[in-house]
Amino acid sequence: MPDILHRIGVEHTAPERVYDALTTLDGLAGWWTEDTTGQTDRGDVIKFRFGPPGGFDMSVVKLDPGRLVRWEVVDGPAEWIGTFVQFDLRQEGDFTIVLFRHEGWSEPVEFMYHCSTKWATFLMSLKQLVETGQGAPAPRDVQISDWH
Amino acid sequence: MPDILHRIGVEHTAPERVYDALTTLDGLAGWWTEDTTGQTDRGDVIKFRFGPPGGFDMSVVKLDPGRLVRWEVVDGPAEWIGTFVQFDLRQEGDFTIVLFRHEGWSEPVEFMYHCSTKWATFLMSLKQLVETGQGAPAPRDVQISDWH
């Protein structure tokens, strides 16, 4: 099954700070979408909304502080349900390296191509948030196409 | 085998203009790397260099004006050799949709994660070049990590 893969390095940053941006509502709202609600502990569901028509509900399935965050998509577009999103973090010199994986897509549909590029721009938003205090979450996100 | 997939939409643009940016030295130098040399017809090899230590040599294996560009990587990092890069273009309203695929990776190594994110930023550079006349090719490219 095809996966979406990405790698970024967040400069002058310890993994714990990136982990915070992935595991708190304020952090997540600072880089992915301002409309982030729910609870962020293991077993909880976080609701990410992007204005009409929808968004994603993520069940937090694994947390390892400063090292790993794993979600299962429990509601959202049909192609996303049952897929997993994982962030692996590690220190590398003055950088926190983020290895990102959105796995479990059943087919490489055109929407997957779109989501791959969109994830890249959101990960750059995560990098900017932690480095500068200012990300570009929806609805202020980078527009990449007619699909936004 | 895992693939890198991306989708962008270039606004207010016909596919022929994006095709030009993928099939002329000036076009390619405007969004991917300023150090682009060689020939761009079918059967030719285009040499993309990124300063030390290297770059990629692409053999142009398929061209369909306004619709498709396909390259085979004939020299460069070991993981890239024998892989293929393909751009499919089509009109969708006021946008030219670019479906991008870098296929034939034998393993999802960490370098592939990096290249996936880096391709996304270069495709955004292609979009900017065609929309505004100004891309962000190397060495003025967006830095995403300790690997540049």
**Average model confidence (pLDDT) across chain B:** 97
3-state secondary structure of A19: helix
Question: Are the beta carbons of B18 and B100 closer than 8 angstroms?
Answer: no
Q: How far apart are CA B70 and CA B9, in angstroms?
A: 19
**Could you give the angle at which helices A15-23 and A110-132 cross, rounded to 10 degrees?**
120
Average pLDDT value for residue range B121-141 = 98
Question: Are the beta carbons of B6 and A118 closer than 8 angstroms?
Answer: no
Average pLDDT value for residue range B66-80 = 97
pLDDT (tens digit, 0 to 9) for every residue of chain A, 148 residues total? Answer: 689 999 999 999 999 999 999 999 999 999 999 999 999 999 999 999 998 778 999 999 999 999 999 999 999 999 999 999 999 999 999 999 999 999 999 999 999 999 999 999 999 999 999 999 999 999 999 999 999 8
Record: contact A108-B5, CB cut-off 8 A? yes
Please report the ipTM that was assigned to this predicted complex: 0.97
- Confidence label for B1 from pLDDT (cuts 50, 70 and 90): low
Provide the percentage of residues in chain B whose pLDDT is more than 70: 99
* B130 CA to centre of own chain: 14
Record: contact A117-B117, CB cut-off 8 A? no
Q: How far apart are CA A78 and CA A80, in angstroms?
A: 5
Per-residue confidence (pLDDT) for residue B46, from 0 to 100 = 98
pTM for the full predicted model:
0.97
Q: How far apart are CA B106 and CA B112, in angstroms?
A: 10
Of the residues B143, B144, B147, B148, the best mutation for testing chain A's interface (the one with the most A CB atoms within 10 Å of its CB) is B144
Question: Which residues does residue B19 pair with via DSSP β-bridges, in sequence order?
Answer: none
Is pLDDT above 80 for B107?
A: yes
Which residues on chain B are in Cβ contact (under 8 Å) with A6? 113, 116-117, 120
Per-residue confidence (pLDDT) for residue B7, from 0 to 100 = 98
Per-residue confidence (pLDDT) for residue B51, from 0 to 100 = 81
What the block records as the tokens of B61 is 């294996």
The per-residue pLDDT for range B13-57, each reduced to its tens digit, is 999 999 999 999 999 999 999 999 999 999 999 999 998 778 999
Q: Judged by CB atoms within 8 Å, which residues 18-77 of A form the interface with B?
A: none
